[in-house]
């Protein structure tokens, strides 16, 4: 198992070229947020925008529009019960599932619409629905972000039995081969043949919305740092907990929204190689 270090941030986060525009930094479509779980997509979007995404659209229940806009006027919105094909076509990255609840039809329509060159991140309720309805993954560049219980539902491996060997064997049955971010204390990231371990982060992160924030960061990083999807995912996972550790030096708990607020500073420091605080 390879231990992740801050080198992944040094390698991934680069200075921006001057002659660029929002179209160069990722068009992200976030789909989720029932009436009950609007906070999940707000936290996805806060993380994606603060990670530097060029354009973020949130497809959600209309009751979430006002709250989303008051937190984040940078994001665009659309009603997730309407046909999303045109939005999916335009996206570089589609993130679906945070707070999606039981909206199976929205998930299946999305799985049927994504193209093979697009990045598809499946989180939260999308993972539970995939497992419950035994849905196939589409031909796309897929990232799965389950916590241990969601991975148990998907892989049929009990939490206590989730060893790297068993996880890799289960992952090999998924086609096309996804990147797996198995979230827990010391999160593990599985690619087709390698396993990486996060050795930073801690229980001050055990707050609802922490995973929604990570999913938004993965969307933001993968839409922007396009040379390697694997590298972008690893960097987002490391950055999320590096910020939490930094904040936890003076806090008992770290809130997901506090992590999002610190992302631009961390990215600035790594792009400029000013690593004094981390
Ligand atoms: N503000 C919001 O709108 C929020 C919405 N959320 C959404 O709520 C839906 C349900 O997700 P939940 O994860 O709450 O529910 P789940 O039922 O999928 O999983 C939670 C259960 O798994 C157990 N568990 C075991 N190991 C775990 C681990 N390592 N990490 C986390 N849980 C572990 C927990 O004790 C709990 O019983 C998802 O769509 C999610 O995105 C959550 O993200 C919380 C915040
Ligand atoms: N004790 C812990 N140590 C380190 N990281 C943790 C701990 N508890 C939770 N986390 C992190 O918080 C996030 C929780 O994700 P998830 O359960 O999907 O949250 P939510 O769905 O509420 O947004 C993951 O990134 C996980 O690794
Ligand atoms: Mg979650």
What was the pLDDT predicted at 15? 95
Q: Which of 109, 61, 108, 65 minimizes the C-alpha distance to 83?
A: 109
Give the residue, out of 42, 147, 181, with the most ligand 1 atoms within 8 A of its beta carbon, to mutate for a pocket test. Answer: 147
Q: Summarize the annotated binding site for (6S)-NADPHX as residue ranges.
A: 40, 99, 147, 212
% of the chain at pLDDT higher than 70: 98
User: pTM for the full model?
Assistant: 0.98
pLDDT of 20 above 50:
yes
Question: Taking residues 153-159, what's their average pLDDT?
Answer: 98
Tell me what ipTM this predicted complex has: 0.99
CATH topology of domain 2-271: 3.40.1190
Domain boundaries, the chain: 2-271
What was the pLDDT predicted at 278? 47
| 3-state secondary structure labels for all residues of 60-119 | ECHHHHHHHHHHCCCCEEEECCCCCHHHHHHCCEEEECCCCCCCHHHHHHHHHHCCCCCE
pLDDT of 276 above 60:
no
Q: What are the tens digits of pLDDT across the range 241-252?
A: 999 999 999 999
% of the chain at pLDDT higher than 90: 97
Task: Read off the pLDDT band of 192 (50, 70, 90).
Answer: confident
Task: Read off the pLDDT band of 195 (50, 70, 90).
Answer: very high
d(Cα 161, Cα 156) in Å, to the nearest integer? 10
Q: Summarize the annotated binding site for AMP as residue ranges.
A: 183-187, 211
d(Cα 137, Cα 120) in Å, to the nearest integer? 10
Which residues have CB less than 5 Å away from ligand 3 (the ion)? 124, 211
d(Cα 195, Cα 201) in Å, to the nearest integer? 18
* Rounded distance from Cα 196 to ligand 2 centre (Å): 17
């Amino acid at each position: 198992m390879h231990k992740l270090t801050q080198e992944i941030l040094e390698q991934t986060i680069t200075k921006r070229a001057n002659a660029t525009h929002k179209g160069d930094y990722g068009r992200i479509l976030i789909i989720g947020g029932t009436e009950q779980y609007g906070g999940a997509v707000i936290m996805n979007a806060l993380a994606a925008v603060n990670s530097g995404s060029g354009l973020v659209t949130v497809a959600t229940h209309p009751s979430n529009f006002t709250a989303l806009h008051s937190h984040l006027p940078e994001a665009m919105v659309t009603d997730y019960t309407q046909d999303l094909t045109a939005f999916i076509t335009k996206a570089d990255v589609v993130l679906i599932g945070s707070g999606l609840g039981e909206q199976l039809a929205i998930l299946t329509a999305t799985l049927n619409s994504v193209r093979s060159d697009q990045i598809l991140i499946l989180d939260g309720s999308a993972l539970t629905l995939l497992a419950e309805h035994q849905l196939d993954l589409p031909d796309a560049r897929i990232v799965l972000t389950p916590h241990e219980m969601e991975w148990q539902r998907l892989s049929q491996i009990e939490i206590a039995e989730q060893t790297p060997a068993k996880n890799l064997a289960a992952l090999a049955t998924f086609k096309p081969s996804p990147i797996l971010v198995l979230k827990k204390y010391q999160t593990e990231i599985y690619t087709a043949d390698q396993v990486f371990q996060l050795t930073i982060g801690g229980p001050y992160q055990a707050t609802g919305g922490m995973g929604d924030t990570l999913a938004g960061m993965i969307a933001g990083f993968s839409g922007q740092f396009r040379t390697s999807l694997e590298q972008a995912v690893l960097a987002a996972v490391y950055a999320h907990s590096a910020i939490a550790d930094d904040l936890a030096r003076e806090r008992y708990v770290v809130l997901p929204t506090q992590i999002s607020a610190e992302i631009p500073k961390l990215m600035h420091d790594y792009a400029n190689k000013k690593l004094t605080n981390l």
